[in-house]
Amino acid sequence: MTSRTVLHDADIARALTRISHEILESNRGPDGLVLLGIPTRGVTLADRIAALIASFTGHSVPVGALDVTMYRDDLHRNPTRTPRPTEIPPGGIDAKTVVLVDDVLFSGRSIRAALDALQDIGRPAAVRLAILVDRGHRELPIRPDYVGKNLPSARDERVNVRLLEVDGTDEVTIAS
């Protein structure tokens, strides 16, 4: 299996900075925002985006984790990881703009599961989607609002996101 790096640490930092600015611009500031990362790396990315927003505005944005494992429609076909706890920030999500954050958008099934999970938690005013890498091949009509990098890829290729906090390095690779 051959692998090539398509995003380095500086590229990831630049993409997250741009996403953070776009979130602030579309929301007209940090008020009423809640960031929910989808484990594992989506939580790390949500934390980074929240830190960037705080550095730009001086205001903190609540961050949580939304585990979608048990909401997936492919549990019978794919082995799953152990579910992680869903952590909703104090103040909840009702009447807030929730930005779901994940590392890679592929078929859209994880995001569909996240939307189902949100229904069990509350009723946000709006739900937005921030993705580090959009690789295409959607099976559901889901489109991200904020994208770090569009990375067209073949279905049989694998996009790997590695983040310093989880993997010891920041990079995105594509393996064929």
| CA distances for 132 relative to 6, 17, 115, 145, angstroms | 12, 11, 18, 11
Has residue 75 been placed in a domain?
Answer: no
Q: Is residue 161 part of a domain?
A: yes
Look at the chain and report how many structural domains it folds into: 1
Asked if residue 125 is part of any domain, the answer here is yes
Would 81 be classed as within a structural domain? no
| Sequence-ordered list of residues with C-beta below 8 angstroms from that of 144, at least 6 positions apart, any chain | 105, 129, 130, 131, 134
pLDDT at position 83, please? Answer: 77
Find the CATH number of the domain harbouring 41: 3.40.50.2020
What domain range includes position 107?
A: 3-69+89-175
pLDDT score, position 110: 92
Asked whether residue 77 is domain-assigned, the answer is no
What would the mean pLDDT of 80-85 be, rounded to a whole number? 74
Residue 27: pLDDT over 80 = yes
For the chain, counts of helices (H) and of strands (E): 4, 8
Is residue 148 domain-resident?
A: yes
pTM score: 0.94
